[in-house]
Amino acid sequence: MAIDIRRAQTRLKAAGFDPNGIDGIAGCGYYAALLAHNAKRPVDATLLQIGGVMAAQLPLYGWDATAERLAEWVGETSNETGGYTVFAENMNYSAKRLTEVWPARFPTLASAQPYANNPRALANKVYGDRMGNRPDTDDGYDNRGGGLLQHTGAAEYARLLQRLGFDPDDVRHPGKSVIAACDFLARAGTQAFVDRGDFRGSRKSVNGGYIGVDEVAARRNRTLQVLA
């Protein structure tokens, strides 16, 4: 479904997120308001920064072509960043939470305890020796999740460096992470899933599995209320 931007702006204003009341670069207000509406929080400098880059980048990749595409883009990125607040993976977990998130790796509280509230050790444990990370190094921590889509692993960061010239710090920058996200989604073929209504397939193309599929759906539907 094509997007009626004037109608979307009216709906955003009615919801308390007036795009025309937001100062910024051209097109920034509309996108920043859309992100704020999805995240259920006021527009701030981070959302303005992301919105400005979205205005320039999303049309290049066709993510603004339909309501479904844009809603999925917002749903996935909002979910992965906790409403655009987390751009570097939080590896600070209690022992109990570790047994819930990684039950195969930490089947007991005792096995989890050495890694509880120890982000570097945990990242090296769960990400070491895979995704291009070398064992017995800090690769797991240095290449932990980052950006709007939580890019993870030395192999992925190497691709982003080759394709975009971005190092991990660049990817974790809110504005630059928009570019990294668009590049990743293009490589993953995510739009094809969205266009045929296969949102589970879309989630798998982003996440590698179906973790968070219900949360993404809720965020997608919230944005569709504005766009469709």
Residue 21, pLDDT score: 76
Instruction: Give the tens place of pLDDT for each residue, 160-199.
Output: 999 999 999 999 999 999 999 999 999 999 999 999 999 9
Residue with tokens 């400098």, as numbered in its chain: 45
The region of weakest confidence among 8-22, 53-67, 205-219 is 8-22
45: which 2 tokens?
A: 């400098």
Q: How many CA atoms lie within 13 A of 159 on its CB side?
A: 13
How confident is residue 207, by pLDDT bands cut at 50, 70 and 90? very high
In percent, the amount of the chain with pLDDT more than 90 equals 92
Q: Is the pLDDT of residue 57 over 80?
A: yes
Mean pLDDT of the chain: 95
**Span 64-78, mean pLDDT?**
98
Q: Is the pLDDT of residue 228 over 80?
A: yes
**Span 52-56, mean pLDDT?**
94
Residue 23, pLDDT score: 62
How confident is residue 219, by pLDDT bands cut at 50, 70 and 90? very high
**Span 111-129, mean pLDDT?**
96
Taking the C-alpha atoms of residue 160 and residue 156, their distance in angstroms, rounded to an integer, is: 6
Taking the C-alpha atoms of residue 23 and residue 12, their distance in angstroms, rounded to an integer, is: 16
Structural contact between residues 173 and 140, judged by C-beta atoms closer than 8 angstroms: no
Q: Is the pLDDT of residue 42 over 90?
A: yes
From the list 148, 126, 142, the residue with the least C-alpha distance to 80 is 148
Nearby residues of 153 by Cβ (< 8 Å), 6 or more positions away: 127, 130, 131, 132, 133, 143
Taking the C-alpha atoms of residue 86 and residue 84, their distance in angstroms, rounded to an integer, is: 6
Residue 22, pLDDT score: 75
Strand partners, 88: 146
Residue 61, pLDDT score: 97
Instruction: Give the tens place of pLDDT for each residue, 1-29.
Output: 989 999 999 999 999 998 887 765 556 88
Residue 80, pLDDT score: 96
Structural contact between residues 118 and 94, judged by C-beta atoms closer than 8 angstroms: no
